[in-house]
Every structure is written in C-alpha cells, then in structure tokens.
Amino acid sequence: MQSSSRRDQQLEIGIDAGLSMIATVLSLVATALLVALLLGNSLHSGSGSKPGVANAPGVGQANELQAQQALSTGLTSAATASAAAGGFGSLDISTLTASDPSMSFVSGPSANASTVSVVVANDASGGGSITMADRSSDGICWLVWRAAGGTTWYGAQTGLASCAAPAITTAPVPGPVSSSAIGWQEGSFPAG
C-alpha cells in the first residue's frame, strides 16, 4: 500500500509540475503578444508625421522659449554696449558680438532660434533704436525693439521661413500676431 500511495503522490507532483509549466508558458505567450501589440501600435501611431525629436510634444515650445531667451539676452547685451558707445544708434554687429561672444548676431535674416538678426536705426536725438529678431522652429519670428530711454516692445509674426529685423525709428503700434504683420505689445512677448 505504501508503494501505491507513494506512486499516487509522485503522480500528483508530476501533474502539478506539468500544469505549472503550462501556466507559465501560457502567461509568457500572452505577455509576448501584448508587448508585440503595444509596440506595433506605438510604432505606427505617428506614421503620418516625420520621425524624430523635432516634432515631439513640447519641442516647439522649448524652441520658442530658446528664441525669446536669445532675444532677451541679446537686448541686455545691446543695452550694456549702448551705454558705453553712446546709444543704440552707435552699435554694430562687431560691437554686439564683442559684448557677448556667446551670441550670434547678424545683419541679415535669422533662420533659427540661436541667430539674432539686428538692425540699428538712428533718430534725431542721437540715441537711436535697436530691433532684434530670430525665428523658432515652428516658423514664428520673435522680435524685440527698444529706443534709448524707452520701453521695450515685443513682437511676433507667424509662418515665416526666416525673419529679418526691420528698421523702426518710432515705437511700434500694438496689434495682433498674424502671418501678414508683426503683432506688437509692450512689456512681454505676445502669444504666438
């Protein structure tokens, strides 16, 4: 009887081990199928857009902030350089570059957030004004304008392949941002 009981126990252990192995294999197969489905959906979810980081969520906003920060830094450098040079009207690209070598100032158009287009305009007072512009990757041209002793105006224009700072001798007129005109406002950047 003992041998029969022992055989029954070994048979039960064998059946339990076999069922455990089958359950483990089935759960692994189910997990593999779920992973394959999730990967397939993830890989095909953005099939209509260009691959890469440039169109990832938040990248456009980060690039806009980079463009706005470059203009703010450039304007601070221009204000410092203009104090030593006798006003904005006496500034040029080489003076600005010398005041802040980390910035890329150009007299032509800007095609990216790290290149700042600059135009200096002279006025009757001799203090002059400065306009700076740069372009974020989403096609928004961001601008700043300041005259000697004046307030700072901030602007934006949408849908541009590049942007060049316009020569402005008097304070800009406030308006909405659009693709056909620069929208200006005092004190902070307008919503692009």
Which of 93, 95, 142 shows the shortest CA–CA distance to 114?
A: 142
**Which residue matches tokens 């406002």?**
185
Q: What is the pLDDT along the chain (192 residues), one digit of tens a residue?
A: 556 666 655 555 655 555 566 766 666 666 666 666 666 665 655 545 445 555 556 776 888 899 999 999 999 999 888 888 778 888 889 989 998 898 899 999 998 888 999 999 887 666 889 999 999 988 999 999 998 878 899 999 999 888 999 999 889 999 999 999 999 999 999 987
- How far apart CA 31 and CA 71 sit, in angstroms, is 51
pLDDT given for residue 82 in this prediction: 86
pLDDT given for residue 53 in this prediction: 54
Which of 107, 162, 163 shows the shortest CA–CA distance to 130?
A: 107
Q: Annotate 53-66 with b (16+ C-beta within 10 A) or e (fewer).
A: eeeeeeebeebbeb
In the chain, domain spans: 1-48, 58-186
- How far apart CA 134 and CA 155 sit, in angstroms, is 11
Which of 191, 151, 189 shows the shortest CA–CA distance to 68?
A: 189
